Chains A and B, each alone.
Chain A
Amino acid sequence: DAGVIQSPRHEVTEMGQEVTLRCKPISGHNSLFWYRQTMMRGLELLIYFNNNVPIDDSGMPEDRFSAKMPNASFSTLKIQPSEPRDSAVYFCASSFSGTVGNTIYFGEGSWLTVV
């Protein structure tokens, strides 16, 4: 089975540019998560969706960040405009929320560098 698929794997962009990260969750999963990993702050939950509906976006750092899940098989995380402090690894993860103690599966990450 394919795991969580993220694209791009690596992106280098200039400050002020728009960045769009994409995620395809595991088929059949109904919860999707976006995490950000930095040396200083570790793994932070930015936003998560259940059945395509955003449940909690309190982790989204600023209005420059937005996330959408138009259908069960696709999500985007957009940063506009990007800033150097947004440089981080962004992980998408998915799970099936219908069982107790369900496992959350992570993608390989999108490594973003803003110069």
Chain B
Amino acid sequence: AQSVTQPDIHITVSEGASLELRCNYSYGATPYLFWYVQSPGQGLQLLLKYFSGDTLVQGIKGFEAEFKRSQSSFNLRKPSVHWSDAAEYFCAVGARIQGAQKLVFGQGTRLTINP
């Protein structure tokens, strides 16, 4: 069965500092991997996704993620965070079943930004 682990429940960084959020997945086939962001009281917005090709993918808001098959990881990075990046971040793996693709999410990492 597919699963996603986000080891860090809560991370605090200073504004302007670099950021890396960890994500490990378990999936038997080639994974489709996603990062979503959720601001308080809002739905989930897609930051970026990987399904083939270049293992370093660029997303919105200056985020990037690198797929490492050997480590079963898909870590999210940003070189310099802004106060507006404070939110909850979810990693997800897509599993295709009977013509439809469902997402299995990790528990999420809450990001706090210190001024």
Contacts and interface: CB of A to CB of B under 8 A. Distances in A.
A97 B99 CA distance: 7
Nearest to B46: A103
Contact of A101 (B45, B49, B98): B49
Contacts of A115: none
A106 B43 contact: yes
Contacts of B34: 103-104
Contacts of A100: 32, 51-52
B51 A55 contact: no
A81 B110 CA distance: 33
A48 B100 contact: yes
A45 B102 contact: yes
A106 B101 contact: no
Contacts of B98: 50, 55-56
B108 A42 contact: yes
A109 B39 CA distance: 12
A50 B44 CA distance: 21
Given A55-B98, A97-B100, A42 B51 contact: no
A43 B108 CA distance: 9
Interface string A90-101: 010101010011
9 A-B pairs with least C-beta separation: A101-B51, A50-B100, A43-B105, A106-B43, A106-B44, A108-B43, A31-B100, A42-B107, A97-B100
Given A31-B101, A45-B102, A48-B102, 12 more contacts: A42-B106, A43-B90, A55-B98, A55-B100, A91-B43, A101-B32, A102-B101, A103-B34, A104-B46, A104-B101, A105-B46, A106-B36
